Amino acid sequence: MEIHINGILIDYTIEYYINEENSSRVTAMAPNTIFYFLLEDLNNFTTYNVSVSANTVVGRGPSTERTQRTNGNGKCFYPVCYDLFGRTCST
């Protein structure tokens, strides 16, 4: 029997923004059926803050936040992306 302390997982909220003052946040929703989310069309040589939180019928859970810098192609330096469990993944 599965136990769901805060209800069944509905989806994830991914937020990211440029790591500087007055930067607006971009919010994306991801279904509970995916295990990674790749951010695209990022600025070159820019540091981003990225946070992920899980959502259930009870509400939004705590978020995890990472800082990641892109290279000259708008891609992140290693690791290229994070799965929704905080592990690195390849693209």
Q: How many CB atoms lie within 10 A of CB 50?
A: 21
**What letter does residue 42 receive in the DSSP assignment?**
P
pLDDT tens digits for range 33-87: 877 777 878 888 889 898 989 899 888 988 888 888 888 777 665 444 555 555 5
Provide the CA 14 distance to its chain's centre, in angstroms: 4
Residues 6+ apart with CB under 8 A from 23: 17
- Domains of the chain are 9-83 (2.60.40.10)
pLDDT at 6 over 50: yes
Helix, strand and coil percent figures for the chain, each rounded to 5: 0, 50, 50
